[in-house]
């Protein structure tokens, strides 16, 4: 099964050629700053959260090393910046963030810095139209079935119990995907936007930045293909996730997410909602439940107690992942392997 869209078919060979050229250059494929005798800029570019930092590190490799504003394990919804982080923000020249729909706590701090700020959720919105228009997923014969399947999922996840619905009203994102980095095509759109901004900031580094973007585009195509092959046999296997973060990943790969425990980690699920999840689990509609490393698994264990089903752990925030030019694609492959392991019979 190949997950390549029409928009790519005209330039796949060009992207592959860029990667081949990079390999052929060998030791000459060095950071531009090294050949120019300049140090890589550090701290001038800031990414609000680690996943954006992974993409920024791939695009800025050899030109600018991004700093991460929100530390590992902290919630982007409710984060109080440390004085050192605030000082770094004041000294930054370029800041990438998702936007207030996810990082509400950064609104005021970002208003205080003179750095150029790019809210990347808008890139995801623009790319989503292109994504839907070209999302044919070659050899995807079950597409019509999954359209009906997705409608059933939408029904499941939107009929929250009264307690959680009241809490969720305050966090309505207007249908926007506030975790767009989990969809590789949206991540590619964000990478292109980052590239444009970095070229403006580092015009002398444009050649290196162009090579980095070409390399990232090619790696996304290959990673998307590999993940599609891993997960396509498991598309009918039902599962629950801890919180509502994986929409982009699930929809992109046609997976059968039955629902989630909570809209966001700071919210406590209502008793009725948990009872509904338990009933579905007892009816064997799910084969797997996913928890997250930064939150206690006690809630998941209490709902799944006594049931024979797999439990997995997935992380939407890339905790513990080290920045590097290949870090984003390796993170996505690891995420896919975790889904594969939990969903496999």
Which of the four pLDDT bands, split at 50, 70 and 90, describes residue 50?
A: very high
Q: Are 56 and 194 members of one domain?
A: yes
Q: Give 234 or 133, the one with higher predicted confidence.
A: 234
Same domain, 198 and 63: yes
Supply the pTM of this predicted model.
Answer: 0.75
DSSP lists the bridge partners of residue 65 as 42
151 and 168 co-located in one domain: yes
β pairing state of 310-313 and 256-262: unpaired
Instruction: Say if residue 55 is in the same domain as residue 200.
Output: yes
Tokens 């909602």 sit on residue: 273
Query: Which of 238, 243, 281 lies closest to 262 in space, CA to CA?
Result: 243
For residues 201 and 196, give the distance between their C-alpha atoms in angstroms, rounded to a whole number: 9
- CATH number of the domain where residue 284 is located: 3.40.50.1980
- Write down how long the chain is: 345
For residues 174 and 306, the model is more confident at 306
Tell me what the mean pLDDT of segment 235-260 comes to: 94
R_g over Cα of the chain? 21
The number of domains in the chain is 2
Distance between start and end Cα atoms, the chain: 20
pLDDT-based confidence at 2, cuts 50/70/90?
Answer: very low
Residue 55 in domain: yes
Measured between alpha carbons, how far is 288 from 311 in angstroms, rounded to an integer?
5
pLDDT exceeding 90 applies to what percent of the chain? 50
What pLDDT shows up at residue 263? Answer: 67
**Angle (nearest 5°) at CA 100 between 94 and 105:** 90
What percent of the chain lies above the pLDDT cut of 70? 71
- Tell me the pLDDT tens digit for each residue of 90-142: 999 999 999 998 998 898 999 999 999 999 987 544 443 344 444 444 444 34
**What digits encode the pLDDT tens for the residues 267-310?**
677 788 888 888 888 887 899 999 988 776 777 888 888 888 89
CB 25 within 8 Å of CB 234: no
Contact 65, 40 (CB under 8 A): yes
Mean local confidence (pLDDT), 230-247? 94
Residue 344, pLDDT > 80, answer yes
Quote the mean pLDDT of the chain: 78
Domain that holds residue 222: 6-125+179-226
Task: Find all residues with CB under 8 Å of 69, minimum gap 6, and list them.
Answer: 46, 47, 48, 49, 81, 85, 88, 89, 95, 97, 106
Tell me whether residue 17 is in a domain: yes
Same domain as 111, residue 71? yes
User: pLDDT, tens digit, for every residue of 72-98?
Assistant: 878 787 788 888 889 999 999 999 999
Are residues 154 and 113 part of one domain? no
Please give the structure tokens belonging to residue 146. Answer: 């999954």
**127 within 8 A of 185, measured Cβ to Cβ:** yes
């Amino acid at each position: 099964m190949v997950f390549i869209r029409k928009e790519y078919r005209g330039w796949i060979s060009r992207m592959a050629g860029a990667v081949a050229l990079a390999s052929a250059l060998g030791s000459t494929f060095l950071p531009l700053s090294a050949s120019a005798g300049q140090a890589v800029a550090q701290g001038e570019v800031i990414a609000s959260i680690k996943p954006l930092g992974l993409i920024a590190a791939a695009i800025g490799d050899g030109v600018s090393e991004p700093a991460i504003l929100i530390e590992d394990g902290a919630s982007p919804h409710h984060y109080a910046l440390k004085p050192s982080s605030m000082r770094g923000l004041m000294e930054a020249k370029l800041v990438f963030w998702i936007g207030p729909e996810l990082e509400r706590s950064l609104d005021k701090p970002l208003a205080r810095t003179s750095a150029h700020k790019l809210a990347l959720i808008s890139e995801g919105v623009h790319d989503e139209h292109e994504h839907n228009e070209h999302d044919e997923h070659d050899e995807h014969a079950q597409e019509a079935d999954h359209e009906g399947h997705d409608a059933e999922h939408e029904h499941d996840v939107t009929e929250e119990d009264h307690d959680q619905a009241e809490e969720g009203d305050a966090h309505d994102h207007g249908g926007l995907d506030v975790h767009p980095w989990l969809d590789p095509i949206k991540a590619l759109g964000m990478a292109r936007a980052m590239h444009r901004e970095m070229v403006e900031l580092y015009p002398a580094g444009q050649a290196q930045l162009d090579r980095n973007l070409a390399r990232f585009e090619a790696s996304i195509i290959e990673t998307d293909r590999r993940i599609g092959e891993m997960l396509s046999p498991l598309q009918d296997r039902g599962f629950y996730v801890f919180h509502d973060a994986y929409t982009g990943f699930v929809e992109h790969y046609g997976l059968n997410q039955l629902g989630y425990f909570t809209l966001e980690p700071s919210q406590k699920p209502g008793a009725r909602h948990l009872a509904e999840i338990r009933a579905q689990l007892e009816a064997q509609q799910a084969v797997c439940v996913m928890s997250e490393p930064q939150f206690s698994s006690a809630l998941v264990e209490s709902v799944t107690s006594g049931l024979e089903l797999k439990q997995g752990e997935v992380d939407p925030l890339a905790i513990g992942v080290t920045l590097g030019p290949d870090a984003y694609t390796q993170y996505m492959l690891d995420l896919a392997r975790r889904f594969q392991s939990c969903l496999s019979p």
